[in-house]
């Protein structure tokens, strides 16, 4: 592979050759290519092979090949239910993230406050603090005897604690928190690139604020919305820690099921097939979404 | 900004917008603030409001051998992974920005690939692959490979963006004055892209220190990192020791963030 690429890399004209003194510089990229080729591309190809192996007792997988794992994953009502739950979780987390994230992204992109840098840290903080720590924070807040229930009871708003976790609500709240930065950051970039004088011009020509937002800012920030929503959706589908910690035994997602099959049940082919079914569903959902929003985009223009 | 006297409706709308944005900022900070508060709790349990302020749970943490060992392992793994991904990432960024021609966009995508694929799926794929190739997870090798893979894009993208900001003419000037390629790199290019390297490396360190899914699937037998140990601990115990160890993890992150802000400013961070 490396021989082919070095043969292609140098430009033909001698002028370009002179301008690029490090022609034999291919060794610079070689470690990265080896790392990703051997430890990312090959393993992903290997997952497909694994999903076609039969399961075995006392070993992670048996000899030979079979389609049985896919038949099992797609024919079992329980697994299909978990798959549907996972997709619904993604489909609810994304719009909430967008509704919470867009105004913050706009504020962050346009603020000239000297606290801007601090606010940026605030947005980044959930991203940089580990997912176990963040979910633990929500555990303290949402548990039966947790901070929120304590405050509500002390204020006399409720008599007994509300069930805020070990259900879909708790998982969704924590997922929104965990993935909100992934919605905000692409949006900040896009909104910053919209010239504020355009908005001022539209306003001075008599457009209402709402109209300026709907006809100008929103269409122009569409690439950021698309990037953020797809990112949050994909991340939600593959989330493992948050559903386990806040969903308890009540909320099962595909990732939880897959890890259970790999680690507890030691059935690698089953887990591999389920992981691939989830990935395929995710990809189809993203593709359909991209098609639909592409059309919507044209409608806006 | 627009006119001096805004109508009342506009001012109310402004105030409501600001309140909404403020509420989201509070939402973002809340779980982290509550952990730090709880770690200082003098009481026996994770109860609210805290029963006085004390450092007793930090004492309990330092006496907890499992947690201390896990912190040690996490620091070690993060340090090794950061060094590896920084060396590989800086070299890769140099090639992609300075030397690649037609393949540039493809190579860039390839180096960003680990960030675009779900971490847990990559971890599963690596687990299968390590067994299939006979390496297994007896040593730390698989875990380190996983951490280097995930942190590489952060180093690459930060270094590449600081390289794009230099046009390379200074390095060429040094070369034409007779400096060897290595000398030109060390004396000219390296100081110019140092902020990007520091940002990328610190980011890689923080990401690796907090990485969960990769560690869950690829850790060797009897080995545990801080996020794994905390996860296990919370299955059975729910006391302020967990808050104390989380606070330690938050402080590690905070040090890195402040460092980045002092060196280059946070807004220059690159995520993809």
Q: Find the residue in B nearest to A135 (Cα).
A: B31
Mean pLDDT of B8-29: 88
Evaluate whether residue B44 is within a structural domain: no
Contacts of B41 in chain A (CB under 8 A): none
Separation of alpha carbons A216 and A205, rounded Å: 13
Closest residue by Cα to residue B232 from B212, B208, B207: B212
Q: A261 to chain B: nearest residue by CA?
A: B124
B79, pLDDT greater than 90: yes
C-alpha distance from B235 to closest chain A C-alpha (Å): 9
B20 within some domain: no
Distance from C-alpha of A7 to C-alpha of A3, rounded to nearest angstrom: 6
Furthest C-alpha separation in chain A:
82
Q: Which of residues 152-211 of A touch B (CB under 8 A)?
A: 177, 180, 185, 200, 203-204, 209
Choose the mutation target among B57, B120, B128 for the interface with A, i.e. most A CBs under 10 Å: B128
Domain assignment of residue B35, yes or no: no
Q: Do B227 and A42 touch (CB under 8 A)?
A: no
Nearest to A275 among B18, B121, B226 (CB): B121
Residue B218's domain comprises 65-268
**Is B52 among the domain residues?**
no
Cα–Cα dist B77/B56, whole Å? 29
pLDDT of residue A14: 40
Burial of residue B57 (CB within 10 Å: 0-12, 13-18, 19+) is buried
Q: Is position B19 within any domain?
A: no
Distance separating alpha carbons of residues A214 and A212, to the nearest angstrom: 6
End-to-end CA distance of chain A: 45
Report yes or no: B218 and B130 within 8 Å, Cβ to Cβ: yes
Strands (E), B23-159: none
> Which residue's structure tokens are 């990485």?
B211
Instruction: Say if B27 falls within a structural domain.
Output: no
Cβ atoms B263, B195 nearer than 8 A? yes
If DSSP states are collapsed to H, E and C, what string results for B66-101?
A: HHHHHHHHHHHHHHHHHHHHHHHHHHHHHHHHHHCC
Of B34, B129, B213, the CB nearest to A240: B213
Are residues A42 and B129, on separate chains, in Cβ contact within 8 Å? yes
Per-residue pLDDT at A37: 92
Inter-chain residue contact B125 with A31, CB threshold 8 Å: no
Whether residue B60 contacts residue B244, with contact meaning beta carbons closer than 8 Å, is answered with: yes
With CA atoms as reference, report the closest residue to B199 among B160, B162, B252, B158: B158
Q: What is the pLDDT along chain A (301 residues), one digit of tens a residue?
A: 333 333 334 444 444 434 444 456 888 899 999 999 999 999 999 998 888 888 877 777 888 788 888 888 888 889 999 999 999 999 999 999 999 999 999 998 888 877 777 788 888 877 788 899 999 999 989 988 888 888 888 888 887 778 888 889 999 999 999 899 989 988 988 898 888 888 888 888 888 888 888 888 888 888 889 888 988 998 899 899 999 999 887 888 999 999 988 888 888 888 899 999 999 988 898 888 888 887 776 666 5
CA–CA dist B170, B191 (Å, integer) = 12
What are the pLDDT digits (tens) for B46-68?
A: 666 777 777 888 888 888 888 99
Cβ contacts (< 8 Å) between A28 and chain B: which residues? 91-92, 94-95, 99
Tell me whether B102 touches chain A (CB under 8 Å): yes
What local confidence, expressed as pLDDT, does residue B23 receive?
A: 94
B54 in any annotated domain: no
Query: Taking the CA of residue A277 as centre, how many other CA atoms within 13 Å lie in the half-sphere pointing to its CB?
Result: 29
Residue of A nearest to B205 (CA): A128
| Cα A226–Cα B96–Cα B264 angle in degrees, nearest 5 | 70
Average pLDDT for B206-224? 89
| Whole-angstrom distance, CA of residue B152 vs CA of residue B34 | 32
Task: Tell me the residues of chain A between 41 and 80 that have a Cβ less than 8 Å away from chain B.
Answer: 42-44, 46-47, 50, 60
Would you state the pLDDT for residue B209? 92
Give all strands (DSSP E) within chain B, no chain letters: none
Nearest to A138 by CA among B52, B33, B236: B33
Residue in B with minimal Cα distance to A238? B118
| Window 240-299 of A, Cβ < 8 Å to B | 240-241, 245, 255, 258-259, 262-263, 268, 271-272, 275, 279
Answer yes or no: are the C-beta atoms of A8 and B102 closer than 8 Å.
Answer: yes
Average pLDDT, chain B: 86
Residue B117 CB: number of other CB atoms within 10 A? 18
From the list B96, B172, B149, the residue with the least C-alpha distance to A28 is B96
Instruction: List domains and CATH numbers for chain A.
Output: 77-300 (1.10.3720.10)
Q: For A103, which residue in chain B has the nearest alpha carbon?
A: B21
For residue B242, tell me if it sits in a domain.
yes
| pTM reported for the whole predicted model | 0.85
pLDDT at A13: 40
Contact assignment for B32 to A125 by CB distance below 8 Å: yes
pLDDT recorded at residue B5: 67
The pLDDT tens digits for B81-121 are 999 999 999 999 999 988 888 888 889 889 988 888 888 99
CA dihedral sign, ordered A82, A83, A86, A87: negative
- The H or E element that residue B147 is part of is helix B141-164
Determine the 3-state secondary structure of A111 from DSSP: coil
Nearest Cα residue in chain A from B21: A104
List the CATH number of the domain containing B88. 1.10.3720.10
Q: Is B41 helix (H, G, I), strand (E, B) or coil?
A: strand
Two tokens, residue B18: 């600001």
Shortest Cα distance from B147 to chain A (angstroms)? 11
Nearby residues of A180 by Cβ (< 8 Å), 6 or more positions away: A97, A100, A101, A123, A126, B24, B28
Number of domains in chain B: 1
* B88, B226, B243 member nearest A35 (Cβ): B88
Per-residue pLDDT tens for B163-200? 887 777 888 888 889 888 888 888 888 888 888 898 89
């Amino acid at each position: 592979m490396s021989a082919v690429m070095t043969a292609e890399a140098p430009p033909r004209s001698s002028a370009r050759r002179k301008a690029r003194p490090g022609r034999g510089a291919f060794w610079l990229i070689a470690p990265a290519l080896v790392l990703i080729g051997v430890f990312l591309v090959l393993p992903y190809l290997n997952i497909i092979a694994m999903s076609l192996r039969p399961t075995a007792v006392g070993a992670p997988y048996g000899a030979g090949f079979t389609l049985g794992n896919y038949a099992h994953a797609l024919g079992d009502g329980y697994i299909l239910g978990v798959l549907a739950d996972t997709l619904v979780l993604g489909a609810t987390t994304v719009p909430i993230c967008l509704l919470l994230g867009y105004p913050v992204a706009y504020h962050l992109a346009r603020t000239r406050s000297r606290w801007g840098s601090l606010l940026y840290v605030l947005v980044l903080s959930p991203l940089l603090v580990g997912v176990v720590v963040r979910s633990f924070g929500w555990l303290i807040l949402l548990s039966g005897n947790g901070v929120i229930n304590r405050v509500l009871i002390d204020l006399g708003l409720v008599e007994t604690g509300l069930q805020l976790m070990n259900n879909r609500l708790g998982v969704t709240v924590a997922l929104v928190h965990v993935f909100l930065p992934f919605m905000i950051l692409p949006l900040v970039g896009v909104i910053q690139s919209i010239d504020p004088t355009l908005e001022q011009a539209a306003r001075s020509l008599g457009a209402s604020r709402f109209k300026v937002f709907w006809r100008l800012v929103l269409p122009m920030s569409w690439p950021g919305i698309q990037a953020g929503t797809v990112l949050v959706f994909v991340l939600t589908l593959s989330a493992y820690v948050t559903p386990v910690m806040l969903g308890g035994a009540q909320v099962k997602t595909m990732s939880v099921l897959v890890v259970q099959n790999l680690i507890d049940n030691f059935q690698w082919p089953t887990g591999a097939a389920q992981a691939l079914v989830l990935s395929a569903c995710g990809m189809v959902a993203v593709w359909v979404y991209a098609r639909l929003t592409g059309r919507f985009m044209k409608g806006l223009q | 900004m627009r006119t001096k006297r805004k109508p009342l409706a506009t001012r109310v709308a402004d105030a409501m917008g600001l309140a909404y944005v403020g509420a989201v900022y509070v939402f973002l900070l809340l779980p982290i603030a509550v952990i730090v508060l709880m770690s200082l709790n003098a009481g026996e349990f994770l109860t609210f409001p805290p029963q006085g302020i004390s450092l007793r749970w930090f004492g309990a943490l330092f006496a907890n051998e499992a947690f201390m060992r896990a912190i040690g392992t996490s620091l070690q793994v993060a340090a090794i992974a950061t060094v590896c991904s920084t060396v590989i990432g800086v070299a890769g960024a140099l090639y992609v920005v300075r030397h690649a021609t037609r393949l540039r966009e493809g190579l860039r995508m390839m180096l960003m690939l680990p960030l675009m694929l779900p971490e847990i799926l990559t971890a599963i794929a690596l687990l299968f692959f390590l067994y299939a190739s006979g390496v297994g997870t007896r040593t730390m090798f698989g875990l380190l490979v996983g951490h280097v893979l995930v942190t590489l894009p952060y180093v690459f993208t930060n270094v590449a963006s600081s390289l794009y900001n230099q046009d390379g003419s200074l390095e060429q000037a040094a070369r034409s004055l007779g400096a060897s390629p290595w000398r030109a790199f060390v004396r000219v290019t390296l100081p110019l892209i140092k902020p990007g390297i520091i940002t990328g490396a610190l980011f890689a360190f923080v990401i690796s220190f907090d990485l969960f899914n990769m560690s869950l699937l690829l850790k060797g037998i009897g080995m545990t990192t801080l996020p794994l140990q905390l996860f296990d601990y919370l299955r059975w115990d729910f006391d302020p020791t967990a808050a104390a160890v989380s606070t330690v993890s938050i402080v590690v992150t905070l040090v890195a963030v402040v460092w980045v802000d002092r060196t280059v400013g946070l807004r220059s961070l690159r995520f993809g």
